Chain A
Amino acid sequence: AQSVTQPDIHITVSEGASLELRCNYSYGATPYLFWYVQSPGQGLQLLLKYFSGDTLVQGIKGFEAEFKRSQSSFNLRKPSVHWSDAAEYFCAVGPKYFGNEKLTFGTGTRLTIIP
């Protein structure tokens, strides 16, 4: 069965510092991978996605993620965080077409930004 692990429940970084959020997945075939962000009291918004091709994908708000098949990872990065990046971040993995498997979300990483 497919699964997603986000090993860091909570991360605190200083404004202007770099950020990396970890995501490891377990999936039998080529995965479709996503990063979503959830601001307090809001729904989820897509940051970026990977289906195929270039393993380094760019997203909105200056985020990027790199797909590493050998490590089963899809880590999210940002070179310099802003206070507005404080939110919860979810990694997700899924098949191309829903069947016995569907989109599976990780448990999330809460990001706190300190001045």
Chain B
Amino acid sequence: EDKVVQSPLSLVVHEGDTVTLNCSYEVTNFRSLLWYKQEKKAPTFLFMLTSSGIEKKSGRLSSILDKKELSSILNITATQTGDSAIYLCAVGAAGGTSYGKLTFGQGTILTVHP
């Protein structure tokens, strides 16, 4: 069975700190790894990674995939209170039994204090 594990489960930091969130996976026929941010209701898409070693960046957020280690990290630099949210890692697989299915980790709850 496909499995995604995130760490840490929760993190409390102060504004300006840099944080690194981890995601590891065991998935048959890996296709993609996605990061989402969930504040109140809908998870909002951050990144999709398919190739190992290529960093994706968006402002203060960046992410990289290591297919050899079956893992990914999400970095947030110069954190702000608006970064407080649950960060979800999800993995998609190839093949008919995987159509439309993302397997999610438990999420990391990030709290940024002023």
Say if A and B assemble together: no
Interface residues of B (CB under 8 A from A): none
